[in-house]
Every structure is written in C-alpha cells, then in structure tokens.
Amino acid sequence: MSHDPTGERHRLTEVFRRDRGRLTRFVEARLFRDGNAEAEDIVSDVVLRLFERADLLAQVEDVTAYLYGALARAVTDAFRRRRASAVVAAPGPLAGAAEAIDAADPAPDPEAALMRTEQRERIQAALRRLTPAERAVWTAVEIDGSSFREVASQRNEPLGTLLSRKSRANRKLRTLLADDRAP
C-alpha cells in the first residue's frame, strides 16, 4: 500500500500552522523558560524532521498527538546535550565519559574514587566493543553534545542511518553494562 507523502506533508503543515503557538509553549514549559528561542528551534527542527519523513506519517492517525510526543523527546534530547556540554571534554572520544562520572561525585573518598575508576573502565570497555561507526555517532551525540543533524552533515551520512546506529549502540551498551554488573 503506497501513500502520497505530499498529502502527509500538507496534513503536517496544517497542524503546524494551526498549533504553532501551542507547540512552542509546550516546549517552553518543559525548558522552564518563556520566550526562549531554543523552544522555537526545537519545534522547527522536529517539524522539519517529520516533514522530511512524511511517508512515515501515513501510519499516524493523530498527527498532533504524534507531534507533541516528538517534541517531548526532543526536549529530553536537549537536556541531555546540555548535560553533556556542561562537562568539559578532554581530548579523545572517551575522556568526556570519564569526566562525567568524576563530576557526579567530587568527594575525595578513596572507596568512591575506586568505584568511579571501575565504572569508567566498564564504560570505556563497553564503548570499545561497539563498532567504530556506532561508537562515533554515540560519542558525538552523547559526549560531545552534537545534534544528529550536525553529525550527519560532518559525516555526510543520512540522518536515519545515524539514528539507527545510535539506537543499536544504546541497546548494546545497556546489555554490555548490565552483563558486566551480573554476579
């Protein structure tokens, strides 16, 4: 069954025109600020991504609800990028992960320092077990704080490919780190 992406784009455009103010206020409320240019950027970015993938919208019954869900996920991603960029990254792709762990508990407790060191080693070992492509996109987004668009542009790869790689990397890391904790 084939769908006309043009019709889906039109449907998304109408929702965006009608609800733009509400969508922006929805994002602003989650960012804890009013009149935030970042909120408008997030709304525009999400709508553009959906517009580019209009073929997927054919399966969506309520575009407005789907759009609000995508915006909620985009806000979560924005907070993750902020958290990652708050950590000053040292040279090397894995250094940021180590500093993020150290920043979590700066107490000079030797036992806590040993636990952080072990945790850092587990994370670095798990990251090394990813494929180079998965590791590159994961570290670019999660540690360096780059957006998927930036990474896609830098690597000259499709956005969907990078999203898939990051998703696979997340699943592998969860499994590797969960297996590592098992007795």
**pLDDT per position as a tens digit, 39-83:** 788 888 888 887 777 777 677 777 778 888 888 888 887 777 766
Q: Would you say residue 6 has pLDDT above 80?
A: no
Q: Would you say residue 164 has pLDDT above 70?
A: yes
CB-CB contact of 71 with 23 (8 Å)? yes
Measure the CA dihedral 65/7/147/151, to 10°: 150
Domains of the chain: which residue ranges?
Answer: 1-86, 88-183
- The pLDDT value recorded for residue 88 is 41
| 38: confidence class by pLDDT, cuts 50, 70, 90 | confident
Q: Which amino acid is at 159?
A: L
CATH 1.10.3720.10 fits 88-183, yes or no: no
- The pLDDT value recorded for residue 33 is 59
Q: Would you say residue 126 has pLDDT above 80?
A: yes
